[in-house]
């Protein structure tokens, strides 16, 4: 229970279905009290008030040390390597659906339920993950890493609801969070300013900004301050041309920029793979691939390359970004995904 409307309504629906429900909030990051923040004191208090309203037990579990080690340190090291991580995927993988699920199982809970908008169904002795019915709220992209032993113990009660329906149920039950605003920020980054956050944790090394031919255009304050596709705040002054970040080169400590057309690539390589309908990819497969959260899905052919996979798109894709996830779909079925190594 994050203190928001989604997890609160998930608890309501589970009670309606006859489950014995225990409310749990993960304390993962100490942060100032602010509206909508998932780890703030007010969020914990909101979750506690909902639990009291529903007359269910409620606990706060401290995962701060593990979150620091598995999510924060990874977040910083990825940026230092010239990659752009997705900390929500990392948190799901290491904290929510590993550490928290393990704790729940130790407490003899049959399932862990969350307010994610996605669906789990069992078919032919295998648990499958599907997109939510509401495409505007679907969160399956950040859940592609779920394994069979996790999926069998997970419930997503909101998978067939729209956000409007979720809020209507919250209002019907007079939940105190029925109209609470959503938070779109990274939970541990104050004011959503990741550069300021990184500046406190990383030693930034200035270097060159070059174009794709190697011509020096300017200087940067550290590659961690840049991401693929970035156009603003490049520090190049008025050049009369519109430059975009094409790639980051940590070995040369260079930011490579170029024209918008140079951002487009036809293929990528991904690693750290997970497949849901089957254990591993053994032959080429036609899918629809999504290269970032809220990006459109594009027809693609995925081909196994040892421990990696090559993704060849039907049409060139802009700003393929190392460190981000590429997720594979067939219709609403989540086939799997992995972490982007490079575009090409």
Name the residues annotated as catalytic: 91, 187
Q: Exposed (0-12), middle (13-18) or buried (19+): which is 274, by Cβ within 10 Å?
A: middle
Q: How far apart are CA 306 and CA 119, in angstroms?
A: 30
List Cβ<8 Å contacts ≥24 apart for 98-104: 98/150, 99/63, 99/66, 100/24, 100/26, 100/61, 100/63, 101/150, 101/153, 101/154, 103/61, 104/24, 104/153
Are the C-beta atoms of residues 208 and 236 closer than 8 Å to each other? no
Q: How far apart are CA 219 and CA 61, in angstroms?
A: 45
Structure tokens at 198: 């990184």
Maximum separation of any 2 CA atoms in the chain, in Å: 67
Question: Is the backbone of residue 323 left (phi > 0), alpha (psi -120 to 50) or beta?
Answer: left
Structure tokens at 270: 């991904």
Q: How far apart are CA 161 and CA 151, in angstroms?
A: 20
Alpha helices in the chain (DSSP H): 5-16, 41-54, 64-67, 73-80, 87-91, 101-106, 148-151, 163-172, 194-199
Q: How far apart are CA 239 and CA 197, in angstroms?
A: 29
What size, in residues, is the chain?
Answer: 344
Are the C-beta atoms of residues 328 and 334 closer than 8 Å to each other? yes
């Amino acid at each position: 229970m994050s203190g928001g409307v989604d997890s609160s309504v998930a608890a309501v629906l589970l009670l309606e279905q006859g489950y014995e429900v225990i409310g749990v909030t993960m304390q993962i990051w100490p942060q100032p009290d602010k509206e909508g923040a998932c780890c703030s004191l007010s969020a914990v208090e909101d979750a506690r008030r909902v639990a009291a309203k529903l007359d269910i037990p409620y606990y706060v579990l401290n995962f701060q040390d593990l979150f620091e080690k598995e999510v924060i340190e990874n977040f910083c090291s990825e940026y230092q390597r010239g990659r752009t991580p997705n900390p929500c995927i990392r948190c799901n993988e290491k904290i929510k659906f590993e550490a928290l699920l393990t704790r729940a199982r130790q407490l003899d809970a049959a399932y862990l339920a969350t307010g994610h908008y996605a669906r789990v169904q069992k078919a032919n002795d295998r648990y499958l993950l599907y997109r939510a019915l509401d495409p505007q709220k679907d969160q399956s992209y950040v859940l592609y890493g779920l394994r069979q032993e996790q999926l069998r113990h997970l419930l997503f009660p909101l998978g067939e609801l729209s956000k409007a329906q979720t809020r209507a149920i919250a209002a019907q039950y007079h939940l105190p969070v029925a109209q609470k605003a959503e938070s779109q920020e990274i939970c541990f980054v104050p004011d959503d300013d990741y550069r300021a956050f990184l500046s406190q944790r990383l030693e930034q090394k200035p270097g060159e900004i070059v174009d794709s031919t190697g011509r020096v255009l300017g200087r940067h304050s550290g590659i961690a301050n840049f991401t693929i596709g970035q156009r603003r705040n490049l520090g190049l002054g008025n050049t009369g041309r519109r430059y975009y970040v094409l790639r980051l080169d940590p070995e040369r400590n260079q930011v490579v920029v170029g024209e918008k057309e140079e951002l487009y690539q036809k293929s990528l390589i991904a690693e750290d793979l997970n497949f849901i309908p089957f254990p591993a990819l053994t032959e080429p497969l036609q899918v629809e691939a999504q290269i970032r959260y809220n990006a459109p899905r594009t027809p693609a052919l995925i081909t196994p390359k040892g421990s990696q996979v090559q993704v060849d798109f039907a049409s060139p894709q802009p700003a393929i970004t190392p460190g981000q996830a590429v997720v594979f779909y067939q219709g609403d079925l989540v086939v799997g995904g992995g972490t982007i190594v490079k575009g090409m």
